[in-house]
Amino acid sequence: MARVAIVTGGTRGIGEAISVALRDMELTVAANYAGNDERARAFTDRTGIAAFKWDVADYDACQAGVARVVDELGPVDVLVNNAGITRDGTIMKLSYEMWREVIDTNLGGCFNMAKAVFPGMRDRKWGRIVNIGSINGQAGQYGQVNYAAAKSGIHGFTKALSQEGARTGITVNAIAPGYIDTDMVAAVPGEVLEKIVAKIPVGRLGQAQEIARGVAFLCSDDAGFVTGSTLSINGGQHMY
């Protein structure tokens, strides 16, 4: 039977590329999303991959969402924690809500989803968890204390959970993308983006597929000895 993968935020941007890459590895993929039904429908029409709506920041919704996927597709073998948001602002302008929303979605979502799938992976003695961090969690970024803290937290979460999974065939790794050409980066003002691209040694933004290929490797049987690691895919912008 085909392995089952959940990709959170799997209906657009980097998540869409990951969903497609895992489908192309013959996995049965469930792509989760938050609320953009139109984009989710278009994604399913384009790819044939089922989309499931729930909020990863909501613990109970994650339990219920994973139970639905298990019912409809089977036990979950692979989890890619990709869902993420930005609510940028310097600390002078950042509200408590902007802080909470980013921490609860980007970092809390990883915990909520891992809680829901880890017991089944442990029972079946095989699992792959890949968490999408960020170059800005490694290096920090002006105007992003919330985002950088959440993404930095993901890297610690990855190292700790990998130790809990190692003896039962579960690997836990992170990928730290640099600047990738998606809606999230399209929201950055043009003049700021130009300055960012000027600092990328390869001289361009990354493509979502370039992150997806890294995720696909980490989810494969070939990557069984890779755990607790962070793979930076950033065009040489930050060497960690």
Ligand X SMILES: NC(=O)c1ccc[n+]([C@@H]2O[C@H](COP(=O)([O-])OP(=O)(O)OC[C@H]3O[C@@H](n4cnc5c(N)ncnc54)[C@H](OP(=O)(O)O)[C@@H]3O)[C@@H](O)[C@H]2O)c1
Residues found near ligand X in the complex (CB under 6 A): 8-9, 11-15, 32-36, 39, 55-57, 82-85, 105, 132, 134, 177, 179-180, 182-185
Smallest distance from ligand X to CB 181, Å: 7
Which residue of the set 33, 147, 179, 240 is catalytic?
Answer: 147
Smallest distance from ligand X to CB 177, Å: 4
Nearer to ligand X, 111 or 126 (CB): 111
CA distances from 2 to 22, 27, 90 (A): 11, 6, 46
Nearer to ligand X, 185 or 197 (CB): 185
Nearer to ligand X, 44 or 168 (CB): 44
Nearer to ligand X, 55 or 77 (CB): 55
Rounded Cα distance between 219 and 188, Å, is: 31
- Catalytic status, residue 147: yes
Beta-sheet pairing, 170-177 with 230-233: parallel
Nearest-Å Rg of the Cα atoms of the chain is 17
Smallest distance from ligand X to CB 201, Å: 16
Query: Under DSSP, is residue 134 helix (H, G, I), strand (E, B) or coil?
Result: coil
Query: Under DSSP, is residue 231 helix (H, G, I), strand (E, B) or coil?
Result: strand
Nearer to ligand X, 85 or 218 (CB): 85
Which residue reads 């909520």 in tokens? 112
Residues 6+ apart with CB under 8 A from 83: 8, 9, 15, 32, 33, 34, 56, 105, 106, 109
Residues 6+ apart with CB under 8 A from 194: none
Q: What angle do CA 213, 235, 13 make, to 5 degrees?
A: 50
Q: Write the burial class of residue 60 (CB in 10 Å: 0-12 exposed, 13-18 middle, 19+ buried).
A: exposed
Smallest distance from ligand X to CB 193, Å: 10
List phi, psi (to 5°) of 96.
-60, -40
Smallest distance from ligand X to CB 9, Å: 2
Positions marked active-site: 147
